[in-house]
Structure 1
Amino acid sequence: VKIFRITDNAALKPGTPLYAAHFRPGQYVDVTAKTIGKGFQGVMKRWGFKGQPATHGQTKTHRRPGAISTGDVARVWPGTKLPGQMGNIDRTVHGLKVWRINTKHNIIYVNGSVPGHKNCLVKVRDSKLPAYKDLCKNLPFPTYFPDADEEELPEDLYDENVYQPSEPSITFA
């Protein structure tokens, strides 16, 4: 269950279907999901530490972090990179461009990496980056509603910079 903050004029009745057609090709979106969990990991994998020497008197410390504080402080500073849980946190990727939208199956094709594993729940929203705010002006609000008198959307919506499979790949002049 996810909670979304909305304004009063964007409230929808429960059970209202949400369509991918709310977004438009060429628009930029922010994508949030839980990253892939790696379990409890040491500092070499979690933070990329170099580790200790293999020889010269080192015993059983090859993958350990080494000193984690100075002697006179007598405590560990907050934020010190230590072993612990890796992954399984919410991660947001900002400014992914929408290249194509399949309105039949409600699929959004974006440019860039999307956090999370296969078949995980993903939250897609209009980009909050200031450079892309102007591109979010004429979107269906609060979502896309198919009207009976309006002509149906095509199955695939493409960005103007994307090669469409229906076009010929080679043209002769």
Structure 2
Amino acid sequence: MQGLIGKKLGMTQIFDAKGRRIAVTVIEAGPCVVVQRKTREKDGYEAVQLGFGDRKERLVNKAALARFKKINVSPKRHLKEFAIDAGEEVKEGDVVTGAIFVGVSHVDIAGVTKGKGFQGVVRRHRMAGGPITHGGHSKRRIGAIGQRARPGNVAKDHHMPGHMGHVNVTAQNLELVEVREEGKLILVRGAIPGPTGAVVFVMKALKKKVKAA
């Protein structure tokens, strides 16, 4: 199985065998339930749909509720498909934990970044801003955004003030430091997208790092 759904619990630090301090993010790895099994014969590809986090029955439509009752599990709040290897024995109702990452060195983590609201160009795009002294009145303003007659319009995708954050981001090739408590927790080196408590998708790294010769 290529991944699962988890929850970001926050950051802490651990020490390796040489006494070096490592900043890690702690992720609650599931437990996820296999809600649906996709097969090559029926669906054209091999995958599983995982469910994470319980939801009240009254908030689930009848079609989805019937599917959960069919496999005898409570309704799940978050659903996500993950690819599996051909011939991998997985059936509906199985529980998936972080134990699938034992022996894995790097992972990709997808999530929604922290929302920062409406921001100016200095914070949103790291622009320098205008002069601060000598009577300057444009300390944090954008400055010129185009020409006059030609082309006579603002270029497409020009850096402007606007909404910042709260976008889908995938952090690739993060080092998986440790799997703890029989797969309930996984520790990843460095930071990952989203605030504490955010739902994230943890997957085995797609692009392998190659050391320079």
Distance 1:13 1:108, change over 3 A: same
Q: For residue 161 of structure 2, what is the amino acid of its counterpart?
A: P
- Verify the 8 A CA contact 1:25 1:99 in the aligned structure 2: no
CA RMSD of aligned residues (A): 2.4
Q: TM-score, normalised by structure 2?
A: 0.54
Q: Which has the larger radius of gyration?
A: 1
* Distance (whole Å) between structure 1 residues aligned to residue 180 and residue 98 of structure 2: 8
* Superposition deviation, residue 5 in structure 1: 5.0
**1:73 counterpart = 2:154:** no
* Distance (whole Å) between structure 1 residues aligned to residue 167 and residue 88 of structure 2: 28
Higher relative contact order (CA 8 A, sep 6+): 1
Corresponding residue for residue 161 of structure 2: 83
User: What count of residue pairs does the alignment treat as equivalent?
Assistant: 131
Corresponding residue for residue 93 of structure 1: 171
Classify the secondary structure of the residue corresponding to 1:44.
helix
Q: For residue 114 of structure 1, what is the amino acid of its counterpart?
A: I
- Verify the 8 A CA contact 2:104 2:204 in the aligned structure 1: no
Corresponding residue for residue 3 of structure 1: 80
Corresponding residue for residue 126 of structure 1: 204
* Distance (whole Å) between structure 1 residues aligned to residue 179 and residue 134 of structure 2: 60
Corresponding residue for residue 189 of structure 2: 111
Q: TM-score, normalised by structure 1?
A: 0.66
* Distance (whole Å) between structure 2 residues aligned to residue 78 and residue 11 of structure 1: 50
**Structure 2 counterpart of 1:37, from 85, 99, 115:** 115
* Distance (whole Å) between structure 1 residues aligned to residue 142 and residue 111 of structure 2: 30
Classify the secondary structure of the residue corresponding to 2:118.
strand
Q: For residue 48 of structure 1, what is the amino acid of its counterpart?
A: R
* Distance (whole Å) between structure 2 residues aligned to residue 46 and residue 11 of structure 1: 47
- Verify the 8 A CA contact 1:25 1:101 in the aligned structure 2: no
* Distance (whole Å) between structure 1 residues aligned to residue 89 and residue 135 of structure 2: 67
Specify which structure has the higher proportion of strand: 2
Identify unmatched segments of 5+ residues in structure 1: 133-173
Classify the secondary structure of the residue corresponding to 2:123.
helix
